[in-house]
Amino acid sequence: MPSETDPAALEAALAEIRSALGPDAVLTAEAAHEFRDPYDGFDEAHFPSAVVQPTTVAEVQAVVRIAAARGVPIWTSSQGRNNGYGGSAPVVGGSVVVSLRKMNRILEIDDELGIAVVEPGVQFFELVDELQQRGGRWWTATPSLGWGSVVGNTLDHGFGYTEYGDHAAHVPALEVVLADGSLLRTGMWASSTSRAAHPRGFGPNLTPLFMQSNFGIVTKLARPLSPRPEIYAPITIRVPDGEDLGPLVDAMRVLTIEGTIPNIPNITSVLGAAAMRKPRREWYDGPVPIPDEVYRGMCETLAIGWWNCSAAVYGPAAVVAASLERVREVVLKSLPHAEVTAKLLPGDEIDHGALTHRENVQAGRPSLVMLETAKWRGDEGGHLEISPIGPATGADVERIAAILRPIVEAEGFDFWPSVYVIKRSVMFLGVLNFDRSNPSQIAAAYRVARSAYPELAAAGYTPYRGNIRFMDMMQDIYDWNDHAMRRFLERLKDELDPAGILSPGKQGIWPQRLRAGRSGPPAALHSAPVRAKEDDR
Amino acid sequence: MPSETDPAALEAALAEIRSALGPDAVLTAEAAHEFRDPYDGFDEAHFPSAVVQPTTVAEVQAVVRIAAARGVPIWTSSQGRNNGYGGSAPVVGGSVVVSLRKMNRILEIDDELGIAVVEPGVQFFELVDELQQRGGRWWTATPSLGWGSVVGNTLDHGFGYTEYGDHAAHVPALEVVLADGSLLRTGMWASSTSRAAHPRGFGPNLTPLFMQSNFGIVTKLARPLSPRPEIYAPITIRVPDGEDLGPLVDAMRVLTIEGTIPNIPNITSVLGAAAMRKPRREWYDGPVPIPDEVYRGMCETLAIGWWNCSAAVYGPAAVVAASLERVREVVLKSLPHAEVTAKLLPGDEIDHGALTHRENVQAGRPSLVMLETAKWRGDEGGHLEISPIGPATGADVERIAAILRPIVEAEGFDFWPSVYVIKRSVMFLGVLNFDRSNPSQIAAAYRVARSAYPELAAAGYTPYRGNIRFMDMMQDIYDWNDHAMRRFLERLKDELDPAGILSPGKQGIWPQRLRAGRSGPPAALHSAPVRAKEDDR
């Protein structure tokens, strides 16, 4: 087993964990297979050695203390459904996966303020069900797939499709187990008397420090809910030509910055919808790139555009009507051939069975239908996302596409973009679908990632999130002032987790004992005097 | 001079700073008086020893390196106009104030994305002027007073009155000089190639760590701008009775959470407007409390309500009209006697001279007229704010008022609330106006703070920001799990600023060498094992 861990220390730690949590809390051998990377079953470098499933905060604290005492790396996973990023699999092979699936209580729904407090095992599906059972007065932001963890998605900077779709930006407070087993609460929860109403508390807001990081294990998190609107109006914008992407992005930037569209618009090519219907070979059995006439045929068959944008407006009927008028005005001004349609749905009478997946998800209703698209290249579908962020302008998005497309196609993949407009920025998801039973297809997807990220970064487009295999490369890209950010993060890591046990390597943050010999600047650089270049903008 | 600093080290440091920055960069004696607390000229405990005014990032780095080498505490001030909180005055008397007023370049206005990049000396007035000179296409969020620093206000979690009025929540990136003199950039700026378009970069978002903290000196900051709307509609809601505050808060919570009102509504009593007109003695020359009939007389004279709420809607004419209808519906449902008025102002033709101060500030136009209100108790006006945060419900706001009012009045002050509704939370500003030439009035204001904050905290309402005198008390209030937050902040402080020179005591965060003997838990506790109480909600 490829591991940074002493086998004897591992065995001793697992014995102590069994003793503290009960024998059923530890899974090994076959029982632990579920926690490997679901889309790469071949990569032993990222196999966990065992899986621990605590059920309480105190059990998480016990696990952390044992791991710290024994020097055993642990890797936290909430639900582990972030499949394109590695699922529950650790960066460091042989790590003990701490799966929080069994800590799945919804601790509080504040019906007056619209705030939910959840444990890390709570799935979006479960939160949606709870809100429905309470009368449906509040909706939650959610990604497409509902089986994932609310906490896990938020901590990994995941996106949904409503006003709070930038999940990480809307966390007023959290609770975290630190590497010494102690507990910290952030925001207003740092006071023993107050509720998580305000976006932060007193002093530096520590909440973001525990997102996309390995400084602690989050055990509770608060997040705002959206009130059920009088009218929910899902909008669909269809444009016929491949060249229409840029102007569509520009229109969405204008409409979201001015507030007419309050949620996060998502623009996809016809491939996404085509993949929901049937696999690639039934559309086109030739090599990449799919010819333009096949694209046009898909558009015709599916009665959609080459590019299709989902967005939404929520509110009183008259506000919604006026907002839709403005959406039409802005879109049609630059895209006269666009088809702009909207449904006007009373918030309290929505028949979700009659809505499309995209219409549902913008109303806080996830599903699993998007899993179908992974079967584009075979029933054993896997996928990897190339996900740079950049300015939300048509020119930038076209440049990202121009860089990414040839790299993707050179490795035999279809160019499959899905663009999220987050006011001033886009998150550009380049989806690579592969047959996960085919090692050479998996390897090709990894080659795309290794080529694309540096090329995109050279042009100003940097990663937003990372598959376990590319964390170092991505952290390398954030290079300003001799990697000042990484050097700072390493100082925090060494202070907060001196034994270096919490998710080593996550986001390219390594504890001191594992830094030497890694990619990036040599360890010697870390103690060298910092070149203080003033690089004024 | 009351100082934690060795006089010889201070002299040596100042000599080195003069040598590095030039003799004019250092102010001492009379020239430094301007940087004392403007509202308490008697309190020698918070006099700075000297003032340094760097003009470049490299000079800030030089100052920090010299201070670290000599162990001299420095206190950062951007413009130092946060007068109710201490102006430029340091927590630790004898600190060298590093005033960044001379670093006042507007480095960038991104006209496409609507992002400004500023240095810490840039005043709101200056940013507004620059935006106007560029055609007025973008508006900035701003507090009432325009002389303050954009960066300083943002870093202290200050509030404005537009959609981005929660300034600290909207900082995509910043640059900071660390305690070793090195430079760090956060968000997308941590990449040498990218722009600050996205709310954060890769890994834990470090931006909030440098707000309300003493972990670095921020030298550049990016912030979003608001597009000039087709129609700007400032709304005024007036309610006649003292009991109307709670329902008004409830209405504003509903309207802001649902998005009908996108900005931060502010509710003030008639006293605020009365103070703009003339001092207290010309309204009522008796002791506190001002009788209800005098309040009613003020309302009649000024033709306003007992409570007056300013809010705003921005957008296309039809959206604004429909939104105003919804505002009326929600407000009048619970407050049938309310008067709801709005102006419909074309965004590109606003005559700011014809607008009230509150109408201007919600359109990104600050002024200095609010300074007039400080003269309530005499021309030498000073003020101190009691500023708890809590849930945005009528019941909570009435409870805050019920706790605060008797404490305020027992010390001879009028009860003077100004309530900001930030969706799910309120920031309740209890303003104490005093004659700053009268030491006993100043002392009375401090007694109010010392009584009010603990009593408010016991009921769940905790401080959002602090005057230099009450930082420890406020940090004490964030007490969960034996002050876990403070202990965590101290670990960061010791790692990031081992010499303990950066703004010691700010937000109650002390470096190790100055912790012993402070209020709060004894130093011994810091190394004691943490009691791990699971306190599930």
Closest CA to B422 of B155, B144, B164: B164
CB B9 within 8 A of CB B70: yes
Q: A104-107 long-range CB contacts below 8 Å, 24 or more apart?
A: A106/A130, A107/A220, A107/B536, A107/B537
Token code pair at residue B55: 């003009």
CB B364 within 8 A of CB B234: no
CB A424 within 8 A of CB B224: yes
Token code pair at residue A299: 């558009």
CB B270 within 8 A of CB B352: no
The three state secondary structure string of A266-291 is EEEEHHHHHHHHCCHHHHCCCCCCCC
* Residues shown for chain A: 537
Q: Of the candidates A460, A464, A465, which has its C-beta nearest B195's C-beta?
A: A460
Token code pair at residue A213: 């990081």
Q: Give the pLDDT confidence of B105-163 residue by residue, as tens digits.
A: 999 999 999 999 999 999 999 999 999 999 999 999 999 999 999 999 999 999 999 99
A425-451: buried (b, 16+ CB within 10 Å) or exposed (e) per residue? bbbbbbbbbbbbeeeebbebbbebbeb
Residue A167 forms contact with B (CB below 8 Å): no
Helices marked H in B195-269: 245-257
Token code pair at residue A248: 């569509």
Q: Give the pLDDT confidence of A106-165 residue by residue, as tens digits.
A: 999 999 999 999 999 999 999 999 999 999 999 999 999 999 999 999 999 999 999 999
Residue A327 forms contact with B (CB below 8 Å): no
pLDDT band at A516 (very low <50, low <70, confident <90, very high): confident
**Average pLDDT value for chain A:** 94
Residues in chain B where the model's pLDDT stays below 70: 1-4, 517-537
The HSE-up count of residue A402 (CA atoms within 13 Å, CB side) is 9
Which of B465, B469, B486, B515 does the annotation list as catalytic? B465
Residue A265: is the preceding peptide bond cis (ω within 30°)?
A: no
Per-residue pLDDT at A531 exceeds 70: no
Cα gap A326→A429, rounded to integer Å: 28
Q: Where are the beta strands (DSSP E) in A74-124?
A: 74-77, 96-99, 106-110, 115-118
CB A485 within 8 A of CB A478: yes
Q: Which residues of A are catalytic?
A: 85, 464-465
Helix axes B317-334, B245-257, angle to 10 degrees: 140
3-state secondary structure of A154: helix
Helix axes A394-410, A439-458, angle to 10 degrees: 150
DSSP assigned state of A427 = E
Residue B113 forms contact with A (CB below 8 Å): yes
pLDDT band at A518 (very low <50, low <70, confident <90, very high): low
Per-residue pLDDT at A529 exceeds 80: no
Q: Of the candidates A391, A461, A485, which has its C-beta nearest B190's C-beta?
A: A485
CB A93 within 8 A of CB A44: yes
Q: Where are the beta strands (DSSP E) in A375-524?
A: 381-386, 388-391, 417-422, 425-435, 462-463
Residue A111 forms contact with B (CB below 8 Å): no
Q: A485 and B258 in contact by Cβ < 8 A?
A: no
Residue B41 forms contact with A (CB below 8 Å): no
C-alpha distances in Å from residue B31, one per residue of B10, B28, B36: 17, 6, 11
Per-residue pLDDT at A501 exceeds 90: yes
Minimal-distance CA residue of chain A relative to B508: A203
Per-residue pLDDT at A212 exceeds 70: yes
Say if pTM beats, i.e. exceeds, 0.80. Answer: yes
What distance lies between CA A101 and its chain's CA centroid? 18
- pLDDT at position A256: 98
| Nearest CA distance, B172 vs chain A (angstrom) | 10
Q: B204 and A203 in contact by Cβ < 8 A?
A: no
Cα gap B196→B174, rounded to integer Å: 9
Cα gap B512→B517, rounded to integer Å: 11
